Chains A and B, each alone.
Chain A
Amino acid sequence: MASKFACPFCRTLVRSEGEGYLCPSCRRSFTLDHGIPNFSTREHYWNHLAPDQMDFMLEVTRTHGYRYAVENILGRFKDPELVRYALGANRADFRSILPITSDTQVADLGAGWGAVACGLAPHCAQVTAMDTNPYTLRFVAMRAEQEGIGNIMPVRIDPLDDSRLPFADDTFDVAIMNGVLEYVGTASDAGSPSKTQVRCLEECRRVLKPGGLLYVGIENRFGYLYFLGTRDHNGLRFTSLMPRALASAVERVRKGVPYRTYTYSYSGYRRLLSLAGFRPRATFIAVPNYRDPRFIVPADDNRAITYLVRRYASYLRRRSWRWAANLLFGHTPPAVCGAMARALSDSFLLVAESTP
């Protein structure tokens, strides 16, 4: 096992003892559940399926295979879109912008259904798939076994808001946060969501080796779809575009809780990463979004963006939209195209380097 487990409380390296781990310093013990190290210290559940549905899903995964389970349970009874989300082999295509080699130790924070972990595993030394949900971690373990992948290690952790990753300093070369950072603030009501996000990023930096890379796949706060009425992470429209205080007031009225799913603009993410001690190395624009990227283009490459925007405009379904897009982008200088894409694109893929 390449990863070095550390006590999430005192950060002393733990040792194997019986069917689990023991911290020699604070004497806390941690169990192995279904063979998965469990460093979770508080209850937290988030998933597309409820626990009893997950039990059934795991049984079907065991008897019929993970692909069948996803297509016939997740896809049929929950949402057909989830099949591509859970199975799509292109979910991990962002690896093309990361220097991942056969020696790379990868931390996948918020592994979910394991699409990213399974996509990265053939290209690196080991993927440590971390999640708070014990059911999906078991699913990931079964999926990896059924795919014949031997270098994925599922680990149960606490939500990322309280900075308790159970690993020693300088463990990983690359940390992946794909669709995770925006939810970090929702695990508790304490403190400002942006401070919680910075704390979470600092914890990622701690477990990354000096010079290690953090990858974040996330929405643009001012993505064009939000202007067209697409719902924010809280299920409400336009809250992403509002000042935070107003968004919080709206969510309190509509849902009884404050607004905590913070996303940022292109420059906002760079500031956030810098605050957490990362040096932003590259930013990419993902089209149509970071969850299912068909196109990935460097955010500072105006020429490539212009090519992509003009090409993508021709894909639009409605004739009026195509006409408007061609009018807008057909003769726009590349610098303007690039600036508009950075301001209004749906998602960003951020790569930042851990500084000492």
Chain B
Amino acid sequence: MNAVLNGILEAKVLPGAPARAHVSPVKLDTSALPGGSMVMLLFVDDEPEPRYVLRMPRTPNQPERLIRNYRSLQVVAREPRMGRSVPSPVYCGELGGATSSVETCVPGLPLAVAMRVARDEGRLDHLAGLFRQAAEWIWEFHTRCDSDEVGRSDHVTRYARRAIGILQRLDIVSPAQADWLLDVAVASDQSMAPAPRIHGDFNPNNTLLDEHGRLYVIDWEFSGPGWPLYDLFTLARTAWFHPSANVDPSPARAQALWDPRAPLGRSFGDALSRYEQRYGLARTDLRALFAVYVAGLVADQVEEMRGENVTLTEPWQSLLRAALHP
């Protein structure tokens, strides 16, 4: 670590070249997944708050996510209205023998904390308000930051093929329903082409809220061309059903996500309406896509378990059935 910190100071990658070579590391990490990055907060000079974030890949020969994070920040930071709500990229390259990146540190606490408090205290209107704020941010992002990469335009179809296979294997859908889901996926790919840039992991842990209620979005490691509804669905699922939140996984809770009388259902519905209008999709199509999205996450787990003993835990079942059976 010292080598990397010294590398930062010697290479003078930090703007304004801090006068004092006193940089204190604080490791801050919420991910236990392999392939992720270690995140360090850098304190500069005598400032009480950290000014920079240093990222180092957990596996030295796999800096891809770190580089993708940096490149995405460069793209988003260029957009005048979005740029202030993401960290500014400072440096990406070799530091002390390891690929590392430096970005500015944005203030605030994870939105997940505020959402958890709202959920615990039964303040569902407040939870829905937080969701609405994040959903509006992601909508702005999807409409303003078009992908600058030449991406494929079959993101939903590819995702759906894998997901539908799982749904059939678990007897969640009939062959006819599977065909319909695939048709919806192909149609949405056509209507969403060219694929816009998405965040790729837009969950409330990657969204910070400062004391003035401003939103900041971090961790762009999975960003790239994709299907924009993926971000909105991730936000909805994690806001309502985040596994670590230890929330009630009952079907009624999953149905509430689609219920316009429920606070979160109303916010989610409003957010979906925008995408309906922009891409000319019907609500039933969006529900089908949500089922595809959830099934894709199940497929990830099944893949991790090498396809053995595939069972569906209650939250996944509830989410799938609520989306597929209005």
Contact = CB atoms under 8 A, between A and B. Distances in A.
Nearest to B46: A303
A84 B30 CA distance: 12
Interface stretch (A62-70, A129-137, A252-260, A339-347): A62-70
B56 interface: yes
B140 interface: no
A96 B5 CA distance: 11
A307 B49 contact: yes
B309 A297 contact: no
Interface stretch (B112-120, B170-178, B249-257, B272-280): B112-120
Contact of A294 (B24, B28, B43, B121): B28
A304 B29 contact: no
A98 B1 contact: yes
A307 B50 CA distance: 8
Contacts of A232: none
B266 to A, nearest CB: 26
Given A89-B36, A315-B113, A319-B121, A307 B26 contact: yes
Interface string B292-309: 000000000000111011
Nearest to A99: B2
A54 to B, nearest CB: 20
B27 interface: yes
Contacts of B162: none
Nearest to A83: B32
Contacts of A91: 32
Interface of A is mostly: helix
Interface string A82-105: 001001111101001111010000
Contacts of A122: 59-61
A96 B34 contact: no
Contact of A93 (B35, B38, B41, B43): B38
B326 interface: no
Contacts of A292: 32
Most buried by A among B27, B30, B49, B58: B27
Contacts of B29: 90, 93, 293-295
B304 A67 contact: yes
Interface residues of A, number: 40
A122 to B, nearest CB: 5
Contacts of A306: 48
Given A89-B32, A90-B31, A314-B113, A298 B25 contact: yes
Contact of A84 (B32, B40, B109): B32
Most buried by B among A84, A97, A123, A307: A307
A330 interface: no
A119 B33 CA distance: 11
Contact of A119 (B48, B49, B58): B58
A296 B24 contact: no
A236 interface: no
Contacts of B38: 90, 93, 96
Contact of B40 (A96, A314, A319): A96
B306 A65 contact: yes
B117 A96 contact: no
Contacts of A294: 28-30
A303 B304 contact: no
B3 interface: yes
Interface string B58-75: 111100000000000000
B15 interface: no
B109 A314 contact: yes
B80 interface: no
A96 B56 CA distance: 9
A304 B109 contact: no
B97 interface: yes
Given A71-B305, A122-B60, A315-B113, A304 B26 contact: yes
A231 interface: no
Interface in A279-326: 292-298, 301, 303-304, 306-308, 311, 314-315, 317, 319
B47 to A, nearest CB: 8
Contact of B27 (A123, A295, A317): A295
12 contacts: A68-B308, A88-B32, A90-B29, A96-B56, A101-B97, A122-B59, A295-B29, A298-B24, A303-B43, A303-B48, A307-B48, A315-B109
Given A68-B306, A122-B59, A334-B48, 7 more contacts: A64-B308, A72-B305, A294-B29, A295-B26, A297-B26, A301-B43, A317-B120
Interface of A: 64-65, 67-68, 71-72, 84, 87-91, 93, 96-99, 101, 119, 122-123, 292-298, 301, 303-304, 306-308, 311, 314-315, 317, 319, 334
Closest 4 CB pairs of A and B: A88-B32, A296-B27, A89-B34, A96-B1
